Amino acid sequence: MVYTKAVEKTAHYDVLVVGGGPAGVCAAASAAREKAKTLLVERFGMLGGMMTSGHVSPILGSVGAGTMSDEIVALLAKAHPGSVAPVTRNGREAQVDVEEAKTVLQNFVHESGAEIFFQTTVIDVLKQGNKVCGVILTTPTGLMAVEADCVIDATGDGYVAMIAGAKYEVGRDGDGYCQPTTLEFVIDGVDETQAITCFGGSDPVCLPDGTKYSEFCKQANQRGELPENVTIVRLHRTHYSGERSVNATQSNRHDTLSLQGISDALLDLRNQIDQVTAFLRKNIPGYENCRVKSSADVLGLRETRRVLGSYVMSDADVENGNHFEDVVVHNAWFLIDIHNPTGGGQAEKHSKMAKAYDIPYGCFVPNGVENLLVTGRCISGTHRAHASYRVMAICMAMGEAVGIAAALCSKSGTTPRLLPVKEIQKVLQDRGIQLFDD
């Protein structure tokens, strides 16, 4: 079927960012701070991506000093004097109040001078040859075309790059399966005098009778008390007494780039929230009276497309802590955290710690398409490298670097591929961001 329709054309922007997650928020604010006329388009009624609509907390990972990641963590901590973001093997663990984050992030972008279109989805790109020159949006009042000198794909899923014809990979080598999906939720009514917290399957926390909690969860899974692939119920502390953020529900093997896969996963995961809560109430001291306070609005996707760029971040880059002359994100650091794509727990028995590594500019410049940059979890890298750089602190630093690149392209009339990386590095360093070790 061919469907044609005239589309209203509106303003032209220097930089257009698609997706207002951790990467897109920083990309838009960063471009606007370089005085680029910037538009951020977000399909939901809030910014933050997984951090807000996905209820994902805390912000994990770390990068070299001075980036917008530090700025945002400080803004989110402002209402919680005395709250610390401890540095652990997860990088810096910064708690997020999801409701506060919605306001903080939109003001962060708004104050930078960038415009925001909420509840507006990019459905297609405008191209001249292999140059992306704008996008088609569905807005609350219908379709609209917007032109831009440079477009940034911060959709998490690499949707814009895919629709523009860029090459991408999905999942691990061999069977193509991605990390599982999860719906995170928050419970309250927890009795702090008894209740444990648990960061993950390797956390040695015990129940009051001395039973190892991770073993208890595995046995509950075998008894059928927990959903099929849920072998650990992660219970993260929040800013508030009596509350826990629960990262537990899990759905594997769905094709979450398809409508059917997303719908099936959501049908499964919403029901899992009740099952996990019933498990806690029945078995875990201090959780007898807990209740679900809120849950994610959208399916939590850890991994989908990885858009192939002029450099592909490799397993070795992350494992060995490789550094690059064309670095734009310095000293990124997190575990190689692969939730098992086909079962419970982790894919690798002992999740390896990455060594602080650089992300070079080439990871953000997709092959075969011009005037487009990619940022956030969908950049160019392998399945294992992605498992490290996908966390939010690192995605924010990526967004900031790419926002500068896009603004510079617009200013000088060049394309991301031809932009000298030294120019991006100069702006990053002028902002006080560390790019090289002494």
Binding residues for ligand FAD, per CB under 6 A?
A: 18-24, 41-44, 49-51, 54, 56, 58-61, 121-122, 154-156, 159, 182, 184, 247, 300-302, 376-377, 390-392, 395
Nearer to ligand FAD, 218 or 377 (CB): 377
To ligand FAD, the closest distance from the beta carbon of 369 in angstroms equals 16
Rounded to whole angstroms, the Cα distance separating 73 from 51 reads 12
Rounded to whole angstroms, the Cα distance separating 21 from 46 reads 9
Phi and psi dihedrals of 6, rounded to 5?
-75, 140
CB 236 within 8 A of CB 247: yes
To ligand FAD, the closest distance from the beta carbon of 93 in angstroms equals 8
To ligand FAD, the closest distance from the beta carbon of 27 in angstroms equals 9
To ligand FAD, the closest distance from the beta carbon of 212 in angstroms equals 22
Residue whose entry in the numeric block shows the structure tokens 């940034």: 152
Nearer to ligand FAD, 35 or 80 (CB): 80
Nearer to ligand FAD, 42 or 370 (CB): 42
Nearer to ligand FAD, 132 or 223 (CB): 132
Angle in degrees, CA 300, 258, 389, rounded to 5: 40
Rounded to whole angstroms, the Cα distance separating 406 from 404 reads 5
To ligand FAD, the closest distance from the beta carbon of 426 in angstroms equals 25
Nearer to ligand FAD, 197 or 414 (CB): 197
Nearer to ligand FAD, 61 or 64 (CB): 61
Closest CA to 93 of 68, 124, 62, 122: 62
CA dihedral 276, 303, 404, 85 (to 10 degrees): 30
Nearer to ligand FAD, 154 or 276 (CB): 154
End-to-end CA distance of the chain: 60
Nearer to ligand FAD, 101 or 428 (CB): 101
Residues with Cβ within 8 Å of 274's Cβ and at least 6 positions away in sequence, in order, are 292
**Dihedral angle sign, alpha carbons of residues 297, 256, 21, 353:** positive
To ligand FAD, the closest distance from the beta carbon of 413 in angstroms equals 27
To ligand FAD, the closest distance from the beta carbon of 389 in angstroms equals 9
Structure tokens at 34: 């370089």
To ligand FAD, the closest distance from the beta carbon of 314 in angstroms equals 19
DSSP label at residue 181: E
Phi and psi dihedrals of 182, rounded to 5?
-145, 145
